[in-house]
Structure 1
Amino acid sequence: MTDRAQRVFITGASGGIGAALARDYAARGATLGLLGRRREALDSLAAALPGTHHVYAADVTDHAAVAAAAHDFIEREGGADIVIASSGISCGTLTERPEDLPLFEEILAVNLTGTIATFAPFIESMKNGSGARRLVAIGSMAGIRGMKGAGAYCASKAAVHSYAEALRLEMKRYGIRVVTIAPGYIATPMTRNNRFPMPFLMSAERFAARAVSTIARGRSFRVIPWQMGVAAALLRLLPNAVFDALFSRAPQKARKLPSGAA
């Protein structure tokens, strides 16, 4: 890296993990592009951060608006060093309920397609860039194994993991590292109303510090906190019969309108 400030573009920046990442990067002197649905929250965040940053009020499902924001940031800053797709929503869903089908579609549109739409407009300029360049997908522990009542969310995050892995192979020849970070339970609006135990619950600020370190090192995949990484490794190894016996009676996420998008 040169001595110039890092240029970091973050979606989902109006709350939760995205806002925590913005605060951490700004404290390190980065220049930020902050995209989220809630303009007032974005303006408040930007005003509280050291430095001058760019605010874009848009939904990641509005692909034209995301592309316009990306191109504006590239033009103003001469490119981006780090792009973080942090927008996400979650709610309980049941396949047998016809009224839940639009929720499945919405969760996949935000969590998966929104990630793709975030990265797409930056890739060409990043290919022509130099130094440490990162595309960062925020996945989830929920993408490791499916959990009852959370089919849409688990499917969306499993897809994010696989998509980012494919993109990592595509970007390798250009020196662009694709980093996937799978949060465990992080104290954000998305987890606030969970009605079940959340082991190793971590503050968004502590998560952000660890995520920034992971991004700097260019690690391909990391679960944060590390204790949940151990749990993830064990879950991958469980035979289906054992997994089904252990989790078929576990509490499940409540069915309600999606929450957590920022």
Structure 2
Amino acid sequence: MSEKIAIKNKTLKVFITGATSGIGDSLARQYANQGATLGLVGRRLELLQKIKSKIKTPCEIYGIDVTDQKDLQKAANHFIKKYGAPDIVIANAGVSTGTLAGEKEDLRTFKRVIEINLFGVIHTFLPFIEAFKKQKTGQLVGIASVAGIRGLPGSGAYSASKAALINYLESLRIEMKPFGIHVTTIAPGFIHTPMTKHNRYAMPFILDVDVAVSRFMKAIQNKKGFVIIPWQMDIVGTIMKLLPTSMWDFLAKSGPKKNRKMIQ
């Protein structure tokens, strides 16, 4: 049996944002290894070109910022015109940074984080939803975070953006069901990526990026609605949700803080 992923004898088509490094780069490589046709989005065109040069399957690259909805629409239109609507759209682009709510200088950072981590996902999905509705199939995948389960001190922008994303994806999942469209929310714990290499604190249950992504792909293939990876963080996440406010405040107040430097 061929190792290529196929749907009704057609090669899988996958559109991925944030493809220039970390999770996005690994998604591109692993889907390409399984024979998928790819559409890759990232801000750094030169890195996308390097990734494309190593991929043996059909691959289109788009050097754009996910905060630009018009550019994403053009990229989506181009991909659909050339290959047809993708089977899977993965909104992976995101940024991480520490912020302090009382600092005026962090206001711009708050806006930028939410613009990328939340609106970037909305911008990514929007151009494909109508095409998915017409064909009554398709899958939208958003990469959230365990950090979106409860507010983390010193990470207000990041936690807020991921919490909003989790709720947006849940709303979208219910909205899309009547059209045969699946929505998958993946909330990772710690993964070895450029985002986490600057963290100066212990990162329990941290995964190699390729190991994590292989688990993402399994969840996507199984059309999971919501999944926390790895399973150990799923337990942690469940406990976080169940803790009363007073207990969470006590435990979180002395927790580690993110570096106040934007990491993509």
**TM-score relative to the length of structure 2:** 0.96
Select which of 255, 259, 262 maps to 2:263. Answer: 259
| CA deviations over 1:105-124 (Å, ceiling 9, x no partner) | 00000000000000000001
- Give the AA of the match of 1:148: P
CA RMSD after TM alignment: 0.8
Higher relative contact order (CA 8 A, sep 6+): 1
How far 1:50 sits from its partner (Å)?
Answer: 2.1
Per the alignment, residue 191 of structure 1 pairs with: 196
Distance 1:81 1:20 in 2: 18
Select which of 30, 38, 48 maps to 1:42. Answer: 48
**Percentage identity across aligned positions?**
47
1:137-152 to 2 correspondences below 5 Å: 137-152=142-157
Distance 1:147 1:176 in 2: 33
* Structure 1 residue 237 corresponds to structure 2 residue 253: no
Which ranges of structure 2 fall in alignment gaps of 5 or more residues? 1-6
Select which of 177, 194, 197 maps to 2:182. Answer: 177
Distance 2:53 2:136 in 1: 30
* Structure 1 residue 120 corresponds to structure 2 residue 126: yes
| CA deviations over 1:157-197 (Å, ceiling 9, x no partner) | 00000000000111000110000000100100001100110
Count of paired positions: 258
CA contact (8 A) 2:136 2:179 kept: no
Select which of 8, 19, 42 maps to 1:13. Answer: 19
How far 1:254 sits from its partner (Å)?
Answer: 1.7
Distance 2:43 2:63 in 1: 5
Per the alignment, residue 36 of structure 2 pairs with: 30
Local SS of the residue matching 2:173: helix
Per the alignment, residue 214 of structure 2 pairs with: 209
1:70-109 to 2 correspondences below 5 Å: 70-109=76-115
Distance 1:62 1:120 in 2: 12
CA contact (8 A) 2:99 2:155 kept: yes
Distance 1:98 1:66 in 2: 31
Moved over 3 A (4+): none
Which ranges of structure 1 fall in alignment gaps of 5 or more residues? none
Distance 1:118 1:182 in 2: 18
Distance 1:46 1:225 in 2: 29
